[in-house]
Amino acid sequence: MRLRAFALAVLLAGTASGVVPSYSADGIVNAGSGTPGPFAPNSILSIFGSGLALATQALAAGDIQGGSLPTEFQGTQVLVDTFPSPLFYVSAGQINFLVPSNQATGDVKVQVVTDGNAGPVVTVTIANAAPALFVTPTGYAIATHADNSLITPDSPAHADEIIVVYCTGLGKTSPNPAAGAIPQYAAQIAALADLKVSIGGAVLSPVLIKYAGLTPGSAGLYQINVALPDNPGQDPEIRVAIADQSTPPGLKLACH
């Protein structure tokens, strides 16, 4: 009886990982803003669902090999058009992954595979750019002062200050990093001529945009270094657009 009980325990342990990942295209959103697609190459996305991974784990320094993010983590993969995508975080209910930097535009197939069990194939759309700001739970854009301290309602930005606004989805850069590679140097976005930043409803002059491109040391993260106008107002709306793709309305910049 003890042997049978042991064998049953082993069998049950072996089947515990047989849960098939469950999710839909609607559960794939931009990790910065939580907004649905379209998405851009080199964007950080989240997949929400169930049975997505067998463990809850964020990347640690030891998980990064050769300067690139892993494409399999804790037994989980995210396939984009059958190619494994770089991963940041896995759990049963959420995966954070990176759209490959060389991904072509158009409709692409996304599939989660966990411990050999494949979830459904769903379709999302990739555009040249799809800007998304990282935001706080209270709706403020995540940005820093020149000294790298966080801009908050208690430490707001001011007129004529040069600030750094963090985002994802600004698309390919020149040079463009290899898929999953952590950038070591600054690289301007390829669509710089089409970039528009609005503060309080007014589009800023291009001369106020000092840099728009990759953030060295962080895969999928972009920054826009921008000089604020001389009268930005209090907590003005901030929007970033490239061509016909724009961040949603209503996001604020802590500013006095």
- Give me 14's structure tokens: 């072996």
pLDDT of residue 1: 39
Give pLDDT, residue 14: 39
Query: Where do the domains of the chain lie, and which CATH numbers do they carry?
Result: 19-126 (2.60.40.10), 132-246 (2.60.40)
Cα separation of 18 and 115, whole Å? 8
3-state secondary structure 100-137: CCCCCCEEEEEEEEECCEECCCEEEEECCCCCEECECC
**pLDDT mean for each 10 residues of the chain (256 residues):** 36 53 97 92 98 95 92 96 96 97 96 96 97 94 97 96 97 94 95 96 96 96 96 95 94 95
Cis peptide before 175 (omega within 30 of 0): yes
pLDDT of residue 9: 36
Strand partners, 212: 224
Model pLDDT, residue 15: 39
Q: Which DSSP state fits 205?
A: P
- Left (φ > 0), alpha (ψ -120 to 50) or beta: where does 61 sit? alpha
Is-cis flag, bond preceding 21, omega within 30?
no
Give the number of other Cβ atoms within 10 Å of residue 15's Cβ: 9
- pTM value? 0.89
Spatial separation of the C-alpha atoms in residues 182 and 186, rounded to whole Å:
11
Positive or negative CA dihedral for 39, 41, 44, 50? positive
- List the structure tokens of 124: 């999302």
In whole angstroms, what is the distance from residue 194 CA to residue 216 CA?
22
Give the phi and the psi of residue 226 in degrees, each rounded to 5: -135, 140
